[in-house]
Amino acid sequence: MEQEVPVIIHDHDPVNPVKEPHSETFIPEQVKEISETLSEAFLRFKESESYDLLVKSADKAKEFIEKNPVQALLYTLGAGAFFGFLLRKKR
């Protein structure tokens, strides 16, 4: 089922144009400096041995979860319950 929609094309500018925000966003210098500093710190971390150890540990954890899904689920539930009791609000 097709429906025709009328299309009106205007050759002139609208009487009250809506002002659009600048296409370029203004970023203060301090934010740029912080961003660059964080980028450099992350690159240094990626090149360090700590990053390699972190990646290896994540791979080991993934393998453990794939080999032992039930045991991993129980560990997760236990850790969640522990932190829930530890951080709960006291009434």
Residues 13-45: pLDDT tens digits? 666 655 655 555 677 888 889 999 999 999 998
Structure tokens at 15: 């009487």
The answer to whether position 82 is within a domain reads yes
Query: What pTM was estimated for this model as a whole?
Result: 0.49
The residue with greater pLDDT, 91 or 32, is 32
Distance CA 66, CA 72 (A): 9
* Number of folded domains that form the chain: 1
The answer to whether position 20 is within a domain reads no
The answer to whether position 66 is within a domain reads yes
Structural domain of 70: 32-87
Average pLDDT, the chain: 84
The answer to whether position 46 is within a domain reads yes
**Interacting residues of 64 by C-beta distance below 8 A, sequence separation 6+:** 72
The answer to whether position 13 is within a domain reads no
The answer to whether position 52 is within a domain reads yes
The residue with greater pLDDT, 81 or 20, is 81
The answer to whether position 50 is within a domain reads yes
> Three-state DSSP class for 88?
coil
